[in-house]
Amino acid sequence: MIKHSLRVGFSFGLTSGIITTLGLMVGLHSGTHSKIAVIGGILTIAIADAFSDALGIHISEEAEEKHTEKEIWESTISTFLSKFIFALTFMLPALFLELSRAIWISIIWGLSLLCIFSFKLARDQKTKPWRVVGEHLIIAFIVIVLTHYIGDWISSMFTP
Confidence of residue 159 (pLDDT cuts 50, 70, 90): confident
Give me the residue spans of the domains in the chain: 4-158
Determine the average pLDDT of the residues in 26-35.
Answer: 97
Q: How far apart are CA 128 and CA 153, in angstroms?
A: 38
Percent of the chain with pLDDT over 90: 91
Q: What is the pLDDT of residue 1?
A: 67
Pairwise CA distance, residues 159 & 15, whole Å: 33
Q: How confident is the model at residue 5 (pLDDT cuts 50, 70, 90)?
A: confident
pLDDT in tens, 43-102: 999 999 999 999 999 999 999 999 999 999 999 999 999 999 999 999 999 999 999 999
The Cα–Cα gap between 93 and 77 comes to 26
> Cα separation of 28 and 74, whole Å?
33
Cα radius of gyration (the chain): 17
Question: Residue 4's pLDDT is what?
Answer: 86
Contacts of 54 (CB under 8 A, 6+ apart): 9, 13, 76, 77, 79, 80, 83
